[in-house]
Structure 1
Amino acid sequence: MSYNFESEVSEALGQLLETETDYNVIVHIGEEPNFKEFHAHSNILRCRSEYFNKIFSAENIEKKDGKYLIKMSNISPKAFDDILKYFYTGKINIVNKTGTELLDFMIVSDEFMLKKLTKLTEDFVIKNHHQFLQNDPIGILQIVYYCKPLVNLQEFCLNKVCSKPEILFNSDKFTQLSAPLLEVILKRDDLNLKEIEIWENLIKWGLAQEQTLNKDVTKWNQDDLNTFKRILYKFIPLIRFYDISSEDYFNKVKPYKKILSKELRDDISKFHMVPGYKPIYTPRQPKFNIDNIDSIIISRFFPNWIDRKEEKYTKSIPYEFNLIYRASRDGNTAAAFHARCNNKGANIVIVKIKNSEQIVGGYNPLFWSSDNNDMPTKDSFIFSITNKNDPQSVKVVYSNGDQYSIRCHSHCGPYFGYSDLYTVYTNYSMWQCRPHSYPTLNLPNNIELDDYEVFQVIKK
Structure 2
Amino acid sequence: MLINIKLPNISPEIFQIILWYIYGGKISLEEYDILDIVKIMVAANELNLQELIPYLESFLIENKANWMDQNFNLIYHISFENDSFPKLQKHCKDLISKEPNKIFNLPNFSTIPEKLLITLIQNDNLRMGEIQIWEYVIKWGLAQNPELPSDLTSFSKDDFNTLKNTLQQCIPFIRFHNLASKEFLKKVLPYKKILPKELYKGLLEYFLDNDSKKAVLRISKEYKEIHIDSKIITFQHVELISKWIDRLEIADRLQNSYEFKLLYRDSRDGSSELISRFDKLRMICKNQSRTVIVSKVKGNNEILGGYNPIEWKFDNSYGITKDSFIFSFSND
TM-score grouping bracket, smaller chain normalisation = 0.5 to 0.7
The answer for the alignment partner of 1:44 in structure 2 is none
Relative to structure 1, the CA distance from residue 197 to residue 110 in structure 2 (aligned partners, 3 Å threshold; closer, same or farther) is same
How far apart, CA to CA, are the structure 1 residues paired with 2:219 and 2:101?
A: 22
The answer for the alignment partner of 1:225 in structure 2 is 160
The answer for the alignment partner of 1:341 in structure 2 is none
Query: 2:124, 2:220 within 8 Å by CA — same for their partners in 1?
Result: yes
The answer for the alignment partner of 2:210 in structure 1 is 274
Structural mapping, 1:294-313, within 5 Å: none
Say whether residues 1:254 and 2:189 are aligned partners: yes
The answer for the alignment partner of 1:325 in structure 2 is 224
Relative to structure 1, the CA distance from residue 167 to residue 249 in structure 2 (aligned partners, 3 Å threshold; closer, same or farther) is same
The answer for the alignment partner of 2:89 in structure 1 is 154
Equivalent of 1:289 in 220, 233, 247: 220
How far apart, CA to CA, are the structure 2 residues paired with 1:189 and 1:152?
A: 24
Equivalent of 1:89 in 14, 24, 45: 24
How far apart, CA to CA, are the structure 2 residues paired with 1:241 and 1:149?
A: 39
The answer for the alignment partner of 1:238 in structure 2 is 173
Relative to structure 1, the CA distance from residue 130 to residue 289 in structure 2 (aligned partners, 3 Å threshold; closer, same or farther) is same
> Residue 116 of structure 1: SS of its match in structure 2?
coil
Residue type matched to 1:142 in 2? Answer: H
The answer for the alignment partner of 1:80 in structure 2 is 15
Structure 1 position 214, deviation (Å): 1.6
Structure 1 position 255, deviation (Å): 0.8
Q: Kindly provide the CA deviation profile for residues 19-72 of structure 1, in whole angstroms up to 9, marking residues without a partner as x.
A: xxxxxxxxxxxxxxxxxxxxxxxxxxxxxxxxxxxxxxxxxxxxxxx2221121
Say whether residues 1:107 and 2:19 are aligned partners: no
Q: Kindly provide the CA deviation profile for residues 69-124 of structure 1, in whole angstroms up to 9, marking residues without a partner as x.
A: 11212113343222222221221223454432222122112112222221222123
How far apart, CA to CA, are the structure 2 residues paired with 1:99 and 1:324?
A: 30
Say whether residues 1:180 and 2:124 are aligned partners: no
Residue type matched to 2:89 in 1? Answer: Q
Query: 1:236, 1:260 within 8 Å by CA — same for their partners in 2?
Result: yes
The answer for the alignment partner of 1:200 in structure 2 is 135
Identify, as 1 or 2, the structure richer in helix: 2
Structure 1 position 263, deviation (Å): 2.0
Relative to structure 1, the CA distance from residue 118 to residue 269 in structure 2 (aligned partners, 3 Å threshold; closer, same or farther) is same
Structural mapping, 1:16-95, within 5 Å: 66-95=1-30
Structural mapping, 1:406-445, within 5 Å: none
How far apart, CA to CA, are the structure 2 residues paired with 1:114 and 1:251?
A: 55
| Overall identity of the aligned pairs, in % | 32
Structure 1 position 142, deviation (Å): 2.6
Relative to structure 1, the CA distance from residue 78 to residue 187 in structure 2 (aligned partners, 3 Å threshold; closer, same or farther) is farther
How far apart, CA to CA, are the structure 2 residues paired with 1:162 and 1:233?
A: 23
Structure 1 unmatched runs, 5+:
1-65, 280-284, 291-322, 337-353, 356-460
Could you state the TM-score of these two structures normalised by the residue count of structure 2?
A: 0.59
Structure 1 position 161, deviation (Å): 5.4
How far apart, CA to CA, are the structure 2 residues paired with 1:104 and 1:258?
A: 44
Say whether residues 1:125 and 2:24 are aligned partners: no
Structure 2 unmatched runs, 5+:
235-254, 257-332
The structure with more radius of gyration? 1
Query: 1:163, 1:192 within 8 Å by CA — same for their partners in 2?
Result: no
Q: Kindly provide the CA deviation profile for residues 310-366 of structure 1, in whole angstroms up to 9, marking residues without a partner as x.
A: xxxxxxxxxxxxx65344xx5499xx9xxxxxxxxxxxxxxxxx89xxxxxxxxxxx
Identify, as 1 or 2, the structure richer in strand: 1
Query: 2:21, 2:27 within 8 Å by CA — same for their partners in 1?
Result: yes
How far apart, CA to CA, are the structure 2 residues paired with 1:251 and 1:71?
A: 57
Could you state the TM-score of these two structures normalised by the residue count of structure 1?
A: 0.44
The answer for the alignment partner of 1:144 in structure 2 is 79
Residue type matched to 1:274 in 2? Answer: N
Q: Kindly provide the CA deviation profile for residues 263-305 of structure 1, in whole angstroms up to 9, marking residues without a partner as x.
A: 22233334443345469xxxxx975533xxxxxxxxxxxxxxx
